[in-house]
Amino acid sequence: MEEEFQNILRSIADSLVRFYKGRAPVDTGALRDSIRAEVRSSGEIAVIYNQYGAYQDLGVNGTQRSYGSPFTFKDVRTNKGVLAPVGGDLPFGARVNIRKFGLRPKYWLTDPNGSPIIPNDILQTIETDLANYMEEIVSTTTERLQL
């Protein structure tokens, strides 16, 4: 029975990974390729991805514009008193604009309220598979009690 339950959870985890990979913003594909899921011994399914996936999902507040994100570009200065750059290899002007105006949320993982996005077909599968599993446990337990 325990193995069957783990198989149900793995199937759900695989469905979630496929769904989120289809929704992840793609530039280089690194974020999409990083998405995976772990089924923990507690029965929890953890969806794991590159750290910047959270910034893509919830956005980042700039110094002059806020998206209500928990993430914010701060006025971090280098040891020479100059604003530390953001944006890696982007041109200087683009990096300045990113710091000022932030990054707009893409909501690929959560909705604007911060709740995880799980499509109805996956929710229906969870409900059906777990209900069937519970019925099997009840049936097996009842049979054992009658012996």
55 assigned to some structural domain = no
Higher pLDDT, 141 or 115: 115
Q: Give per-residue pLDDT as tens, 77-128.
A: 656 666 666 777 888 888 888 888 999 999 999 999 989 999 999 999 989 9
69 assigned to some structural domain = yes
Domain holding 138, by residue range, is: 1-50+115-147
Question: What would the mean pLDDT of 126-145 be, rounded to a whole number?
Answer: 86
75 assigned to some structural domain = yes
Global model pTM greater than 0.85: no
Let me know: does 63 contact 73? Beta carbons within 8 Å.
yes
95 and 133 share one domain: no
Looking at the 3D structure of the chain, how many domains does it have?
A: 2
Confidence (pLDDT) at 89: 80
Q: Give per-residue pLDDT as tens, 6-47.
A: 999 999 999 999 999 999 999 899 999 999 999 998 889 999
pLDDT at residue 140 is higher than 90: no
The distance of Cα 84 from the centroid of its chain, to the nearest Å, equals 28
Residues 73, 86: Cα–Cα separation, whole Å = 9
135 assigned to some structural domain = yes
97 and 130 share one domain: no
